[in-house]
Amino acid sequence: MEVRRARPGDAAALADIVGAGLESYRAFAPSGWEPEAVTGTVGRVGALLTADHPYRGWVAPADRTPLGFAGYLPASEAGDNADDEPGLAHLRHLFVVPGAWGTPVATVLHTAVLDDARGRGFATMRLFCAAGQLRARRFYEREGWTFTGRQIDETPLGLAVVEYRRPLRL
């Protein structure tokens, strides 16, 4: 399966993918939790995909409607989670539509992000994952990520998140 770089015109499709992913959080979120509205996500994803933003994103498959996307940026540019640690990248997104869970989509996107970050000179990558998102946490652990022990309970997502890190130079 081939991937391609995400483009500003992909924003609506990618926001729909995020929306479907967040909708699946209801399985572990506290009663009354509501996922973010997709309309706000379209604008945020679109802003990340502009030429002057340091975010780099990919979609898969390359030749039809995306089933997933992934993207990263320097950790120093990660907004509320900014970190000036030299050589640190931040995995901002890795979402796959539920119908493609268990297929190679996530692995292919993950590899594209890691390869690009490594090629741009990053030494380590970190991510924050919803603490209750056990499926994603198992995926990251299989892919060589290590839970740092850090948990952040107050987040804009309204759910606790945990930090994982992975060296890019093996």
For residue 70, with 0-12 CB atoms within 10 Å meaning exposed, 13-18 middle and 19 or more buried, which class applies? buried
Rounded Cα gap, residues 105 and 154, in angstroms: 31
| Domain of 106, in residue numbers | 4-167
Predicted confidence (pLDDT) per residue in 105-119, tens digit: 999 999 999 999 999
Predicted confidence (pLDDT) per residue in 58-91, tens digit: 999 889 899 999 999 999 998 877 889 999 999 9
Average pLDDT, the chain: 92
Residues 93-107, mean pLDDT to the nearest whole number:
95
Tokens describing residue 126: 């970190």
Q: String of b and e for 89-104 (b: at least 16 CB within 10 Å)?
A: bbbbbbbbbeebbeee
For residue 104, say if its preceding peptide bond is cis, omega within 30 degrees of 0: no
Predicted confidence (pLDDT) per residue in 18-30, tens digit: 989 999 999 999 9
Q: Structurally, how many domains does the chain consist of?
A: 1
Residues 83-105, mean pLDDT to the nearest whole number:
94
Distances (CA, A) of 85 to 9, 33, 55, 113, 124: 32, 33, 17, 19, 10
For residue 52, the domain's CATH number is: 3.40.630.30
pLDDT score for 38: 63
